[in-house]
Amino acid sequence: MPVCAKTPQYGGPDGELSAAVRYLNQRYTMPTGMTRGLLTDIGTEELAHLEVIATMVYKLLEGASIEAIKAAGLDTKYAVRDKALFPQDPEGVPWTAAYIQAHGDPIADLHEDMAAEQKARATYEHLIRLTDDVDLVQGLQFLREREVVHFQRFGEALVTVQEFMETKRVY
């Protein structure tokens, strides 16, 4: 059973659930319609990524024997949850809202978002190296590439917000 069955991307601090909640919360304090829309779009996409990860984990566990579950170190999870998915990190720590960073300062939040995307990209690269399952690698590569695109878009948004905040507004 590939190690992805214990993925940090489902419920870890740098995973898809954390990203979705972070971006969907931060959008309310963005100063422009473009940046609010961007955080809405990317936050929604992160929810879709959560579904992709859930499907991968479900497929990896589907039909797994008790011996395979034990060998993968999932026996304590199985004892409590059977093969049900649960948002937790690979050590079994449940997802928590403490993972969310939202400060109300759009520049700080966008820097946080860029860092989050880089941490997620790095995690996907680690997961790719941990498996030889070609289909799993393809899905993980797709998700990794989306993290790169999100990083780029957040960088563009940062420039937009900085320019907006430097602009004198006369009413």
- Helix 106-129 / helix 134-166 crossing angle, nearest 10 deg: 170
Which domains does the chain show, CATH number per domain? 3-164 (1.20.1260.10)
Q: Which residue has the tokens 């990083």?
A: 151
Report whether pLDDT(2) > 70. Answer: no
Report whether pLDDT(21) > 90. Answer: yes
- State the Cα–Cα distance between residues 17 and 43, nearest whole angstrom: 9
pTM of the model: 0.89
Read off the pLDDT of residues 32-73 as tens digits, 9 standing for 90 and up.
999 999 999 999 999 999 999 999 988 888 888 999 888 888
- Chain centroid to Cα 45, Å, comes to 10
Handedness of CA 104, 110, 113, 115 (dihedral sign): negative
Read off the pLDDT of residues 151-161 as tens digits, 9 standing for 90 and up.
999 999 999 99
Report whether pLDDT(1) > 70. Answer: no
- Chain centroid to Cα 83, Å, comes to 21
